[in-house]
Structure 1
């Protein structure tokens, strides 16, 4: 045996020079491998751990989406979700989950690439140019993008259309997965959510009854218009109409004890003290007698006085009428003196010539209100009911002015309206409705809630038609003074929960505190004529171009006019008017409130959370395609390959070596891929496909060249 040469002395000597290499080696034993062995422990771990990671990330994202879209409506918000949202971590969570998804899918796509390489080598073969790379891909962690050259090299032959389609789909899908976070973030939008429904603190809701100053000095809300119409809480029952009455239905309206509009608009739930008024109004068609109209001053049409006697007995079962004389408790009629509604001097005007005349608290009681019947602790003769007449002058200007020049007797006429009584003679006619209202407020412990935010309503003068028109639709809608029925929630209000015993819920009983019931008093208005000659009750004119004494602010006038014209319902008009005036006084004095009690409430905060599923569904579709492609490749690998053990580098190198590739391998040691591409063309290998299969001559699993038949 010759002595081996030293590699240090002969560095370029071929390994074929040794006797050991020259001796023939037996063919390796072919052993059938299980699917687990073929995949390898590392690849199995990548598939299992990667899938678990993806499911974990998707599960957490689903949690964020489900709670954001569904949980915010139900109010059931998990603490973890609130922690993430309140700290503005939603976008960070999405980014982190997206990173986990991208890393896991990228690792799994390396396994996919190795599987596709094995399938190509064993099932359809590869060109001599692609064969070494495909063989090495079975053990190297490369992605599907490394297979693109193989796809390009086989397009013209069409030999692997199915595999090429899988590869292209996977590459495009992998590219889409890189934008996971960008896609998911598109579902986010700023929205308002109640993160804490039980925020508790003391709420000031009323004025102390120990006043040291006259709080009402210089105040006249009839001559002041609101900039906005605040949102409120409401409990309302269905309105009813009879042959001679119109009833708005039981209506309780609570004024939200928050001075800032932003707080009222975003208030979703409230449990605590609140000022509540009974806003129910009933207007009836009374029996009239002893009717006259007289001219006090022939220079001013506003000074025509209508006098008469009205009787509302048995008109409506929910109203009792009694004499102010405590010794006579028989049901009686009452007399009235009211200024006639002033005529509108504008020709062809649609405005009604209407006015409101107060009878005061000396006639009638509206029963079954929020304050118990017979409760006189507020010092009012009939408890808490205010009676008022609303009149409408239906005569043309010329007939009215020329006819009513002296004391004239009038008679009640036939009327088809449920709430309007008609009276007059053959020359002049008027409509009259007797309305009852319980405006005395009380303070109660209440519960109110809303599922949505809603801003304070506002009205504006619309000049687009040339003639300015007061557009008050949103105000009237909020006040339920439009045709058609709608719930409190549909009108943007908080829903006031009903209470079986309102008296037991008064703040005096619940919190042992009492606020001064002042807002009713602010509705009163000084009338010089009452103090001087008492010719007529306090009158509010709803027409333009009248003397200032009886005029009211144009916004009040326009609101009442629009409601009367659109609904013909005096009860709705007065209900809206009284609510507005009471609200104005309530919030005007808000900074002076000192009476407080604990309350819990939830105010919506603006947060950036998912509001839709579209982009989330898109990402789930991309991930679904990823797993479909991965499963298809796994099934094909397990069922259609025998010679490839993924992750084994020695096998990948060894299977390249064969008699068919010996020439190419020999020259490749010091050549570039481009040089080798030219060399294999000369050797003839490039004319066919190279497969990994068991050689019939050597018994090895090796690269075997197969030339297509011509």
Structure 2
């Protein structure tokens, strides 16, 4: 997010230098150790939506130095699992549910793994990802319009577990996979400010989110938002993604001092509630469009289709972290450079023709003025008399003609005036006192 209200100010931005809030986001996932686990069919009495639900207690072991004591304690979740989805042959998405709980967990801001950018701890909070195994995939009864749960209750009572990287696989006694789960710790970032420089290229427009899940299928995940997040394009191609390159110089200007523990914990809880929220179903669907004719999945349980697509991309192809645009603090003096659209001629032919026409017009106008000044032969007196009379009549025609082209010329008038000693006199037109006529008077 940029500190500009108008989209045009954001899309034309090519240079930013000044203070900004920079987020160093990190996610660490570990295999949970299940203590108590049950998978049961809920008719909707507890949550309002029927389906298979996971009720489990688990913890991450041997990570106290990384996570701290508080986050190493056992946690309990109750969340909806996928129990019906399309054949995986027609969809590459995994039937993944995100389980979370709105619990008061003290987030350590010191004494554990430090964020090298701010000097504080990462402020981790956990979520649990659960992928349903094929054995949980029930079937849909079209006449009734509701899912029929798989008949596995006896097998689900005696699960065994094994770890595979960050995942814990739950299996039946005969080795059938029921689900696999991972516990992910996501860093929370309070708004510390840094001096930064961001450079890049202007973009034509900002990407817009899709409003319908079907549009994502048609576009095959090739949307503006997903490209900006690095899906379908190299994460390092900031120009193609429409993002700016970020360089952090100094800081931080801490949001507050570390001794304000109560305020810090309150801020972390507010971040948690705002970013993850809480669902009556115990979590959210991150599987995208793998369920048909299910209002629960598409409206109540589902995350935004592009969020789900981004998550599935990361889940399938874990790679380097994708850097997003920073959040800026707009109350400080900053230096920016924005792009402007100009029409630049690609060829000079038209420009040269236009300039030649303008030059020719100027030459002709100047030549007309010079010729008029040098070649005019009418008497100045005749011109003045013709201008003030504003009347052509039998009485004035002879006088005008004599003073005009048919009479004497300016040079002749000048010679006569000089010979008569009148060249130094000044004449004026005035109204006669006695008769009211216009007369020439010598001043």
TM-score by length of 2: 0.56
> Mapping of 1:186-585 within 5 angstroms?
255-284=1-30, 286-295=31-40, 297-298=42-43, 301-314=50-63, 319-323=66-70, 332-347=72-87, 349-350=90-91, 351-358=93-100, 362=105, 367-369=113-115, 370-374=117-121, 384-396=123-135, 397-398=137-138, 401-405=149-153, 408-415=157-164, 418-425=165-172, 426-454=175-203, 455-460=205-210, 468=218, 471-482=221-232, 485-500=235-250, 502-503=251-252, 505-506=253-254, 521-528=273-280, 538-543=282-287, 544=291, 545=294, 547=296, 551-552=300-301, 556=304, 558-569=305-316
Unaligned runs of 5+ in 2: 140-147, 258-265, 352-443
**Alpha-carbon separation, structure 2, partners of 1:567 and 1:432:** 16
Provide Cα deviations, 1:668-689, integer angstroms capped at 9, x if missing partner: xxxxxxxxxxxxxxxxxxxxxx
Q: Distance in 2 between matches of 1:605 and 1:306?
A: 58
Does structure 2 retain, via aligned residues, the 8 Å contact 1:283–1:571?
no
Provide the C-alpha distance between the structure 2 equivalents of 1:553 and 1:579, rounded to a whole number of angstroms: 23
State the alpha-carbon separation in 1 of the partners of residues 57 and 215 from structure 2: 44
Task: Tell me the residue number matched to 2:260.
Answer: none
Contact 1:273 1:446 in 2 (8 A): yes
Q: Which residue number in structure 1 is paired with residue 342 of structure 2?
A: 607
1:495-521 CA-to-partner distances (Å, cap 9, x unmatched) read: 221235x32x34779xxxxxx966654
The structure-2 alpha-carbon separation of the partners of 1:541 and 1:598, relative to structure 1 and needing over 3 Å to count, comes to same
Structure (1 or 2) with the greater helix fraction:
1
**Secondary structure, in 3 states, of the residue corresponding to 2:227?**
helix
C-alpha distance after superposition, 1:258-305 (max 9, x if no partner): 122211111111123433333222233x24232522315256653512
Q: 1:524 to 1:260 in 2, by over 3 A?
A: same
Q: Which residue of 2 aligns with 1:179?
A: none
Q: Give, in whole Å, the separation in 1 of the partners of 2:316 and 2:119.
A: 27
Q: Is residue 231–residue 313 contact of structure 2 (8 Å, CA) maintained in 1?
A: no
User: d(CA) in 2 for partners of 1:549 and 1:322?
Assistant: 38
Quote how far apart the aligned CAs of 1:453 are: 0.9
Question: Kindly tell me: are residues 345 and 335 of structure 1, through their superposed partners in 2, closer, same or farther at Cα, counting changes over 3 Å?
Answer: same
**In the TM superposition, what is the alpha-carbon distance from 1:314 to its structure 2 partner?**
4.5
- Aligned position for 1:590: none
Question: Could you say which residue in structure 2 is the equivalent of 1:79?
Answer: none
Quote the Cα distance in structure 2 between the aligned partners of 1:572 and 1:435: 16
Rounded Cα–Cα distance in structure 2 between residues aligned with 1:422 and 1:494: 40
1:562 is displaced (CA, Å) by 2.6
Equivalent-residue separation in structure 2 for 1:337 and 1:372 (angstroms)? 32
Unmatched 5+ stretches in structure 1: 1-254, 325-331, 375-382, 510-515, 530-537, 588-592, 620-710
Listed as ranges, the matches of 1:681-692 within 5 Å are none
User: Matches of residues 28-39 of structure 1 in structure 2 within 5 Å?
Assistant: none
Within 5 Å, give how 1:143-154 maps onto structure 2.
Answer: none
- The answer (yes or no) to whether the contact 1:478–1:491 under 8 Å persists in 2 is yes
Question: Secondary structure of 1:522's partner?
Answer: helix
Task: Give the 3 Å change call, closer, same or farther, for CA 507–334 of structure 1 in structure 2.
Answer: closer
**CA deviation map 1:597-644 (0-9, x unaligned):** 32221222222346x7xx479x9xxxxxxxxxxxxxxxxxxxxxxxxx
Aligned-pair distance for 1:553?
Answer: 5.4
1:273–1:507 Cα change, 3 Å? farther
Once residues 290 and 462 of structure 1 are traced to their aligned partners in structure 2, the CA distance between those partners, rounded to angstroms, is 38
Rounded to whole Å, the distance in 2 between the matches of 1:540 and 1:267 is 36
Contact 1:411-1:424 within 8 A present in 2 as well? yes
Q: Could you give the per-residue CA deviations for residues 451-507 of structure 1, whole angstroms, max 9, x where no partner exists? A: 311232235469799x7566344322322345755244452211221235x32x347
C-alpha separation in 1, matches of 2:230 and 2:106: 27
Contact 1:446–1:496 at 8 Å: present in 2 too?
no
In the TM superposition, residue 347 of structure 1 has moved relative to its aligned partner by 4.5
Q: How does 1:85-164 map to 2 (within 5 A)?
A: none
Between structure 1 and structure 2, the one with the greater Rg is: 1
Residues 347-380 of structure 1 show CA distances to partners (whole Å, capped at 9, x for unaligned) of 4552322111226673886833244335xxxxxx
Conservation of the 8 A alpha-carbon contact between 2:14 and 2:336: yes
Structure 1 residues 161-176: aligned runs within 5 Å: none
CA RMSD of aligned residues (A): 4.6
Aligned residues: 312
Q: Deviations over 1:167-188 (max 9, x none)?
A: xxxxxxxxxxxxxxxxxxxxxx
Cα distance per residue 1:527-558 (max 9 Å; x no partner): 457xxxxxxxx41123552637993555x2x2
